[in-house]
Amino acid sequence: MDASIDDGLAIEEAAFARIVPTLDAQEGVAAFVEKRRPSFVGK
C-alpha cells in the first residue's frame, strides 16, 4: 500500500508473469471465451 506507482507496477508485472503460463490461467481464459464455468486444477 505504501509503494510508489512504479514499484507497484513492477510488483504487478512480476506476479502477472508468474500466473500467465499456468494451466489454470489458460483454463480461465478458455472457459470465459466458451462461456462456461472453469475447471481449475491448481496448476
Task: Give the number of C-alpha atoms closer than 13 A to the C-alpha of residue 32, restricted to the C-beta side.
Answer: 6
pLDDT, tens digit, for every residue of 21-42? 999 999 999 999 999 999 999 9
> Span 14-18, mean pLDDT?
95
Question: Would you state the pLDDT for residue 19?
Answer: 93
Query: Does the pLDDT value for residue 8 go beyond 80?
Result: yes
Q: For residue 43, how far is the Cα from the chain centroid?
A: 12
Question: Domain limits at 8?
Answer: 1-43
pTM listed for this prediction: 0.67
Whether residue 1 is predicted with pLDDT greater than 80 in this model: the reply is no
pLDDT at 23: 96
Domains of the chain: total:
1
Report the CATH number that the domain containing residue 43 is assigned in CATH: 1.10.12.10
